[in-house]
Amino acid sequence: MYQVYIGLGSNLGDREENLYRALEEIALIGTISLISSVYETEPVRMENCSDFLNMAIEIATTADPPLLMAQIKKIERKLGRRSASHGEPRTIDIDILLYRGFAYQDPTVQVPHPTLQNRRFALEPLVEIAPTAVHPQLEKTVASLLRNCRDNHRVLKSEIRLHGVRTI
């Protein structure tokens, strides 16, 4: 069984509902054990776009990185994600941030996420649920990565509570 940390984001349509539906779908492929608060975040490298709602979760799964990535892409398509471009608004964006304890790379997936240490919008919610998780390549805790992150984009903890979803 793997412990996996996943980041979720939405900046198109009903952002709260998009996150909630993504959580429902992810619960079908793994056991969600921790859920961060929701954060309102400034888009990174995107022009004239709405702010994102971002959060992080921990799941337990038997899926290896390629299988989990395939399952995540299927969920994204089901929830209306059309564009693969990183510069476009999206109903849902689901990223594998970290598999606890190891790194993996093939043409379809790279774990840990290759830019995790540079993304405050991913690190803030991740620190909330897994501050002592270690990036296996950089050999630093997630809390340390956040302290050293130079990303200045706005990331604010939101008061949003997804219907019936209990965060830590």
Helix (H, G, I), strand (E, B) or coil at 87: coil
Q: Is 82 a catalytic residue?
A: no
| Catalytic residue, candidates 90, 100, 151, 166 | 90
In the set 15, 93, 119, 120, the catalytic residue is 93
Q: Which residue has the tokens 């471009």?
A: 85
| Catalytic hit among 15, 21, 95, 119 | 95
Answer yes or no: 95 catalytic.
Answer: yes
Q: What share of the chain is helix, strand, coil (3-state, %, to 5)?
A: 25, 25, 45
Separation of alpha carbons 48 and 165, rounded Å: 30
CA end-to-end span of the chain: 22
Which residues touch 28 (CB under 8 Å, ≥6 apart)? Answer: none
Distances (CA, A) of 118 to 13, 90, 142: 27, 21, 11
81 is catalytic: yes
Instruction: Round to whole Å and give the CA distance between 168 and 159.
Output: 13
Residue tagged active-site, from 15, 21, 81, 120: 81
Residues serving a catalytic function are 81, 90, 93, 95
